Amino acid sequence: MTGRPGFCVAIDGPGAAGKGTIARAIAGRFGFHHLDTGLLYRAVALKGGDPGSAARGLSAADLARTDLRSAEAGQAASRIAAIPEVRAALLDFQRRFATQPPGAVLDGRDIGTVICPEAELKLYVTAADTTRAERRAAELGADVAEVLSQLRERDARDAERATAPLRPAEDAVILDTTTLTIEQAVTTAVVLVEERWLRG
Protein backbone atom coordinates (compact mmCIF):
# COMPACT_ATOMS: atom_id res chain seq x y z
CA MET A 1 0.00 0.00 0.00
CA THR A 2 1.25 3.49 -0.78
CA GLY A 3 0.49 6.64 1.14
CA ARG A 4 2.06 9.79 2.50
CA PRO A 5 4.20 10.09 5.65
CA GLY A 6 2.64 11.51 8.75
CA PHE A 7 -0.85 10.10 8.18
CA CYS A 8 -2.87 10.76 11.34
CA VAL A 9 -5.86 8.85 12.68
CA ALA A 10 -7.71 10.66 15.47
CA ILE A 11 -10.01 8.47 17.56
CA ASP A 12 -12.34 9.91 20.18
CA GLY A 13 -15.18 8.59 22.26
CA PRO A 14 -16.34 7.74 25.77
CA GLY A 15 -14.76 5.09 27.97
CA ALA A 16 -15.18 1.38 27.16
CA ALA A 17 -16.58 2.02 23.67
CA GLY A 18 -13.65 0.20 22.08
CA LYS A 19 -11.52 3.11 20.83
CA GLY A 20 -8.31 1.86 22.47
CA THR A 21 -8.65 -1.63 21.04
CA ILE A 22 -9.42 -0.23 17.58
CA ALA A 23 -6.50 2.20 17.81
CA ARG A 24 -4.03 -0.54 18.72
CA ALA A 25 -5.34 -2.75 15.91
CA ILE A 26 -4.96 0.02 13.31
CA ALA A 27 -1.45 0.84 14.53
CA GLY A 28 -0.44 -2.80 14.31
CA ARG A 29 -2.01 -3.30 10.90
CA PHE A 30 -0.36 -0.29 9.25
CA GLY A 31 2.82 0.03 11.28
CA PHE A 32 1.69 3.35 12.77
CA HIS A 33 2.74 4.77 16.13
CA HIS A 34 0.06 4.64 18.83
CA LEU A 35 -0.64 6.93 21.76
CA ASP A 36 -3.40 6.38 24.31
CA THR A 37 -3.62 10.01 25.37
CA GLY A 38 -5.76 9.11 28.36
CA LEU A 39 -2.65 7.59 29.96
CA LEU A 40 -1.04 11.04 29.99
CA TYR A 41 -3.86 12.41 32.14
CA ARG A 42 -3.95 9.31 34.33
CA ALA A 43 -0.22 9.63 34.93
CA VAL A 44 -0.54 13.31 35.83
CA ALA A 45 -3.37 12.54 38.23
CA LEU A 46 -1.42 9.80 39.99
CA LYS A 47 1.72 11.93 40.36
CA GLY A 48 -0.14 14.11 42.82
CA GLY A 49 0.82 17.61 43.84
CA ASP A 50 0.12 20.59 41.61
CA PRO A 51 -1.47 19.24 38.39
CA GLY A 52 0.16 21.84 36.12
CA SER A 53 3.63 21.11 37.46
CA ALA A 54 2.98 17.37 37.26
CA ALA A 55 1.96 17.70 33.59
CA ARG A 56 5.02 19.75 32.68
CA GLY A 57 7.30 17.25 34.43
CA LEU A 58 5.74 14.07 33.05
CA SER A 59 8.35 11.36 32.39
CA ALA A 60 8.57 7.97 30.71
CA ALA A 61 8.63 6.38 34.16
CA ASP A 62 5.29 8.02 34.99
CA LEU A 63 3.77 6.45 31.87
CA ALA A 64 5.12 3.02 32.84
CA ARG A 65 3.17 2.79 36.12
CA THR A 66 1.20 -0.43 36.49
CA ASP A 67 -1.83 1.25 38.07
CA LEU A 68 -2.63 3.65 35.24
CA ARG A 69 -5.61 1.63 34.02
CA SER A 70 -7.35 1.33 37.37
CA ALA A 71 -10.88 2.71 37.77
CA GLU A 72 -9.58 5.16 40.37
CA ALA A 73 -6.99 6.51 37.94
CA GLY A 74 -9.67 6.95 35.28
CA GLN A 75 -11.91 8.99 37.56
CA ALA A 76 -8.99 11.12 38.73
CA ALA A 77 -7.87 11.67 35.13
CA SER A 78 -11.30 12.96 34.16
CA ARG A 79 -11.08 15.62 36.88
CA ILE A 80 -7.48 16.54 35.98
CA ALA A 81 -8.36 16.77 32.27
CA ALA A 82 -10.76 19.65 32.97
CA ILE A 83 -7.86 21.88 34.06
CA PRO A 84 -6.77 24.16 31.14
CA GLU A 85 -3.17 24.38 32.42
CA VAL A 86 -2.83 20.59 32.29
CA ARG A 87 -4.25 20.34 28.79
CA ALA A 88 -1.96 23.10 27.53
CA ALA A 89 1.11 21.40 29.01
CA LEU A 90 0.34 18.15 27.20
CA LEU A 91 -0.81 19.66 23.89
CA ASP A 92 2.58 20.04 22.20
CA PHE A 93 3.68 16.52 23.15
CA GLN A 94 0.59 15.02 21.54
CA ARG A 95 0.85 17.11 18.38
CA ARG A 96 4.50 16.17 17.89
CA PHE A 97 3.62 12.53 18.32
CA ALA A 98 0.92 12.81 15.66
CA THR A 99 3.36 13.91 12.94
CA GLN A 100 5.59 10.83 13.04
CA PRO A 101 5.97 8.92 9.76
CA PRO A 102 4.60 6.69 8.41
CA GLY A 103 1.62 7.57 10.57
CA ALA A 104 0.20 7.84 14.07
CA VAL A 105 -2.99 6.82 15.82
CA LEU A 106 -4.05 8.84 18.85
CA ASP A 107 -7.07 7.95 20.92
CA GLY A 108 -8.69 10.08 23.58
CA ARG A 109 -11.51 12.56 24.01
CA ASP A 110 -10.40 15.68 22.14
CA ILE A 111 -8.08 14.38 19.42
CA GLY A 112 -10.20 15.26 16.40
CA THR A 113 -11.53 18.50 17.85
CA VAL A 114 -8.44 20.00 19.53
CA ILE A 115 -5.23 17.98 19.27
CA CYS A 116 -5.31 16.98 15.60
CA PRO A 117 -8.09 18.93 13.87
CA GLU A 118 -6.35 18.34 10.51
CA ALA A 119 -6.15 14.54 10.91
CA GLU A 120 -6.72 12.62 7.69
CA LEU A 121 -9.24 10.37 9.44
CA LYS A 122 -11.32 11.13 12.50
CA LEU A 123 -13.33 8.41 14.19
CA TYR A 124 -15.79 8.85 17.02
CA VAL A 125 -16.24 5.45 18.62
CA THR A 126 -19.27 5.10 20.84
CA ALA A 127 -21.69 2.53 22.27
CA ALA A 128 -24.72 2.38 24.55
CA ASP A 129 -23.75 3.16 28.13
CA THR A 130 -25.13 -0.15 29.39
CA THR A 131 -23.02 -2.03 26.86
CA ARG A 132 -19.94 -0.07 27.84
CA ALA A 133 -20.59 -0.75 31.53
CA GLU A 134 -20.88 -4.49 30.89
CA ARG A 135 -17.59 -4.47 28.97
CA ARG A 136 -15.71 -2.48 31.60
CA ALA A 137 -17.15 -4.54 34.47
CA ALA A 138 -16.04 -7.75 32.78
CA GLU A 139 -12.59 -6.27 32.23
CA LEU A 140 -12.22 -5.16 35.86
CA GLY A 141 -14.21 -7.92 37.55
CA ALA A 142 -16.48 -5.23 38.99
CA ASP A 143 -20.20 -4.73 39.59
CA VAL A 144 -22.03 -3.64 36.43
CA ALA A 145 -24.35 -1.21 38.21
CA GLU A 146 -21.46 0.48 39.98
CA VAL A 147 -19.45 0.76 36.76
CA LEU A 148 -22.49 2.15 34.90
CA SER A 149 -22.87 4.87 37.53
CA GLN A 150 -19.17 5.77 37.23
CA LEU A 151 -19.33 5.84 33.42
CA ARG A 152 -22.36 8.12 33.40
CA GLU A 153 -20.70 10.43 35.91
CA ARG A 154 -17.56 10.63 33.81
CA ASP A 155 -19.50 11.02 30.54
CA ALA A 156 -21.31 14.02 32.00
CA ARG A 157 -18.12 15.57 33.35
CA ASP A 158 -16.24 15.07 30.07
CA ALA A 159 -19.09 16.41 27.93
CA GLU A 160 -19.84 19.43 30.12
CA ARG A 161 -16.32 20.70 30.86
CA ALA A 162 -15.52 24.14 29.51
CA THR A 163 -12.16 23.14 28.03
CA ALA A 164 -12.13 20.63 25.14
CA PRO A 165 -15.42 18.85 25.94
CA LEU A 166 -16.03 15.35 24.65
CA ARG A 167 -17.90 15.57 21.34
CA PRO A 168 -17.48 14.28 17.79
CA ALA A 169 -15.57 16.48 15.35
CA GLU A 170 -17.86 17.83 12.66
CA ASP A 171 -16.18 15.65 10.03
CA ALA A 172 -15.74 12.56 12.19
CA VAL A 173 -17.06 9.17 11.13
CA ILE A 174 -19.33 7.82 13.89
CA LEU A 175 -18.62 4.18 14.69
CA ASP A 176 -21.22 2.71 17.06
CA THR A 177 -19.91 -0.56 18.44
CA THR A 178 -22.98 -1.47 20.54
CA THR A 179 -23.92 -4.43 18.36
CA LEU A 180 -20.54 -5.09 16.75
CA THR A 181 -17.92 -7.65 17.66
CA ILE A 182 -14.45 -6.22 18.08
CA GLU A 183 -13.46 -7.92 14.82
CA GLN A 184 -16.29 -6.17 12.98
CA ALA A 185 -15.42 -2.80 14.49
CA VAL A 186 -11.73 -3.17 13.62
CA THR A 187 -12.53 -4.25 10.06
CA THR A 188 -14.73 -1.18 9.57
CA ALA A 189 -12.00 1.11 10.88
CA VAL A 190 -9.29 -0.55 8.76
CA VAL A 191 -11.33 -0.07 5.59
CA LEU A 192 -11.76 3.63 6.42
CA VAL A 193 -8.00 4.04 6.94
CA GLU A 194 -7.25 2.30 3.64
CA GLU A 195 -9.70 4.53 1.79
CA ARG A 196 -8.37 7.78 3.26
CA TRP A 197 -4.69 6.81 3.02
CA LEU A 198 -4.93 5.80 -0.61
CA ARG A 199 -6.99 8.86 -1.41
CA GLY A 200 -4.05 11.05 -0.29
Q: State the binding site for ATP.
A: 13-21
Q: How far is 181 from 187, CA to CA, in rounded Å?
A: 10
Tell me the C-alpha to C-alpha distance, in Å, between residue 6 and each of 104, 113, 196.
7, 18, 13
Nearest to 39 by CA among 50, 27, 23: 23
> Please, which residues bridge with residue 103 across strands?
7
> Please, which residues bridge with residue 11 across strands?
107, 123
Length of the chain in terms of residues written: 200
Do 107 and 37 touch, CB atoms closer than 8 A?
Answer: yes
* Sequence ranges of the binding site: 13-21
Q: How far is 56 from 18, CA to CA, in rounded Å?
A: 29
Helices (H), the chain: 19-30, 38-47, 51-56, 60-63, 71-80, 84-98, 129-140, 144-160, 182-199
